Amino acid sequence: MIENLVSCLRRLHAENRKKFDRRVPIGDLLVDRWEIAREYGWGEGTTCYDNVLILGDVRVGRHSWIGPNVILDGSGGLEIGDYCSISAGVGIYTHHTVRWATSMGQAKPDRSPTRIGSGVYIGPNAIIQMGVTIGDRTIIGACSLVNRDFPSGVKAWGQPAAIRGRVEEQAA
């Protein structure tokens, strides 16, 4: 049985490499990314890698891409709009346990909804903290710490993230 499984996985890896020129974890070979999004009731055309950690109430709009190794913490309510690109390793949070830990378990975890607008790009390994709202057509740079709201149409990056410019309108 193990030999058959290994043989099957080798074949799936080879097919995936030929078709997409990439190698992915076993879960992504066996599960359809569009099917995962449909199972959560997310919008048409949205995809989500198998290794994404999804907690609580997460709502995602249409045609969004949730990359590998992402954390979507909806324990305080998380909304992501249409046509968003959430890059590899991004963490989007709606709770933290700072007061719980420092009170030796006496305080409850803090929770606050987080909202990501439509047409938003979040670069690899960015962290979006609880309670943040990011406006439409906004770019968040790689490895940024987003600990405050950002309006629509801006480019922001850094630790903590700060506005660095405006997003240019893209021609079709």
Interstrand relation of 154-158 and 161-166 (parallel, antiparallel or unpaired): antiparallel
Comparing C-alpha atoms, which of 56, 135, 120 is closest to residue 90? 120
CA distances from 142 to 64, 119, 139 (A): 18, 17, 10
* Positive/negative CA dihedral, 130, 136, 142, 148: negative
Is 96 considered catalytic here?
Answer: yes
Q: Which of 13, 63, 95, 96 is catalytic?
A: 96
Give catalytic residues, as residue numbers. 96
